[in-house]
Structure 1
Amino acid sequence: MQSIRSCGGLVLQISDNFSAFQQRDIVRRDGAGTAACIIQSARLLCKRLASPAPGVVFVQKGQKIILDQGVDMKACAGDLVLIPEGATSDIINEPDGAGGYQALALQFAPDLIANLAVAEAKPVQEIKVLNGMPPAFEEAYGKAIEAIRSGPLLPDSIAASRVNEILLWLGALGHRFAPIANPGPIERLRRIINSDPAYSWRAPELAKTIGMSEASLRRKLAAAGTSFSELLADIRMTTALTLLQTTEKSVTQIALDVGYDSASRFTARFRARFDFAPSEIRGHQREVDRNGAKTDRNSAALVPAE
């Protein structure tokens, strides 16, 4: 067991179910889902983050602050965050005094969501925080993460079953993720681009894929306050943010992974999107307050946002 101070100042005893997950890592397993260990050293405000798939985040160290349409939510060590597909919010991952921010994220394979039979539970339609998950859930969660990471050591059916157990736990607590019944063209567009952010996507081919004319697609995007190029760049930058939090890849490699041949061009685009450099995710430079003002980590003086 390890002691972690919670948001309210109480000392929580967090089990050792997650002792094997102490470094950045992200693994996807077909039929089960994606597991990731998120580590962030600086307090940074990430605005307008859209979730590409339904999932949960179990906070291990520090706290996650969700700013959603004027409602602030806080998840401390031992809390679980439920995030439905398409949910968009501003997020601050706040490190604790010594160990930084750390969390284990789990996104569920679509078939598990579609086949889940817990109709009595309420669909998760917005971000929710479940406080103080019980030790039995922590144990199941650790096994689900490990099942995704285990590769051929564990049969696919067993891995899917262990991830499905987390969905059953949520159902027992009164919550379930539901597939989007009739995804609109923008949701479908997001899913396709998210499947391969590095690909040189073009509006005409994607419009044809989703059964629309290019002109109709562009009108839909304009009505939503965006454009094809803006949507593509946003998905690429959000993917890059995830890779910075969950891998030890270099900025140059991450740039390539999201479709940029030039690391400097990628860095400029990333800074324009998030108002901080990619390197700051891993523990350098500045922190921000909830309004986006920046401060040097070694100084109490606020630095105006650039």
Structure 2
Amino acid sequence: MLNDVFRIPARALIRQGGRARFFRLVNTSPLLIQVQSGIKIVMADDNALHLEAGAYALLPDYRPLTMENIPKAPQKYQTLALPVPRQLFEEAYTAMGSIAVPSRPLPASASNLPEEAAALFDYCCQPGNLTRLPGAIARVRLMELITWFALCGAVLGQSQSPRLEDRVRQMIEGDTAYDWTLGHAARAFNMSEATLRRKLAAEKTGFSEILSDTRMNRALALIQTTTLPMAQVALEVGYDSPSQFSARFKERFGVNPRHVRSGSEHFERIGAEVEHSGTDALP
């Protein structure tokens, strides 16, 4: 489908003023990233990927990750992230023929990315460049970029079937400010409330937990990628009270939202681990 390209979220420029570690974040689309300043550490299970400024990497979809972003004074931490549909990775690997696709999706660095590939990454990240192209051409550009990353060691692991939890998160992501209820979700998935509750419990989660966590992860993305006032960020994720929002954010991530943006707190707190995974997790 040629229109897949135009459903790609715009590239995100992530800035962070204070050091923080965010536990169990899940991206709903694979991300090609470049760390532009500071240091990024990405952990999955017992594997840690250490990325210095200038490094390129691939972050998988539907895989809980721990991400630690470390600014290096006088600059803020900054990363450029490009979401790409999984389908294009699979098509690119099929066209390559001999590529070995890992059975498990793990973060992977693209070592020694050639200048031509780096220039293509920059081109794809420039606002409007891909959407101005015919769909077929935009797909080819992205598949070329995926191929360069693969040749440099960053290959996306095999697809993992989205859990019901992930599908509920995707629904909530469409409008995090909406007053979602269990009933809304049950009707969307053609289930009774009791069935939805039982199926989510089998995945060791619940609707209220997913709703809260999805909203907090959306808030994190807004704080890192926009200059919206905190009161507006709170409204965007369904909180009328900025103080209530701030308290919930700190409960989830272990740091005040203003610390993430400006690093203005006098202490350095390395985030809070939670039992369940987040979503909408830009690096």
TM-score (norm 2): 0.81
- Per-residue CA distance 1:63-98 (angstroms, 9 max, x = gap): 101233233321111222311111112211011232
Change (3 A) 1:30 1:45: same
**Relative contact order: is structure 1 or structure 2 higher (C-alpha 8 Å, sep ≥ 6)?**
2
**Contact 2:177/2:237, CA 8 A, preserved across alignment:** yes
* Residues 160, 196 of structure 1: alpha-carbon distance in 2 compared, 3 angstrom cutoff: farther
Once the two structures are TM-superposed, the CA of residue 285 in structure 1 deviates from its matched residue by 0.6
- Unaligned segments of structure 2, at least 5 residues: 273-283
Report whether the alignment pairs 1:264 with 2:223.
no
Question: Which residue of structure 2 lines up, in the alignment, with residue 52 of structure 1?
Answer: 28
In the TM superposition, what is the alpha-carbon distance from 1:103 to its structure 2 partner?
0.8
Equivalent in the alignment of 1:226: 205
Amino acid at match of 1:139: A
SS in 2 for 1:254: helix
What's the secondary structure of 2:10's corresponding residue?
strand
1:235 matches 2:217:
no
The answer to whether residue 123 in structure 2 is matched with residue 143 in structure 1 is yes
1:167 is matched with 146
State the identity %: 32
Cα 1:130/1:152, change in 2 over 3 Å? closer
- Size of the aligned set, in residue pairs, is 262
**Partner AA of 1:88 in structure 2:** P
| Cα distance, 1:36–1:205 mapped onto 2, change above 3 Å | same
The 8 Å contact of residues 113 and 178 in structure 1, kept in 2 or not, is answered as: no
Whether contact under 8 Å (1:143, 1:162) holds in the other structure is: no
More strand by share: 1
Q: CA 1:75–1:175 in 2, change beyond 3 Å: closer, same or farther? A: closer
Q: After superposition, what is the alpha-carbon deviation per residue over 1:2-41, rounded to whole angstroms, capped at 9, x for unaligned?
A: xxxxxxxxxxxxxxxxxxxxxxxxxxx7244430111111
Which is further off, 251-260 or 236-245? Answer: 251-260
Q: Which amino acid aligns with 2:221?
A: T
* Correspondence for 2:83 among 97, 101, 107: 107
Q: 5+ residue gaps in structure 1?
A: 1-28, 293-306
Normalised by the size of structure 1, how large is the TM-score?
0.76
Question: Is the 1:42–1:280 Cα contact (8 Å) retained in structure 2?
Answer: yes
One-letter amino acid of the structure 2 residue matched with residue 77 of structure 1: A
1:134 corresponds to: 114
Q: Which residue in 2 is equivalent to 1:98? A: 74
- Contact map agreement 2:41 2:68 (CA 8 A) in 1: yes
Q: Deviations over 1:237-275 (max 9, x none)?
A: 011101111111111111121122222221111111111
The answer to whether the 8 A contact 1:87-1:127 is kept is no
- Structure 1 residue aligned with 2:132: 154
Contact persistence 1:42–1:287 (CA under 8 A) = no
Gap change, CA 1:266 and 1:221, over 3 Å in 2: same
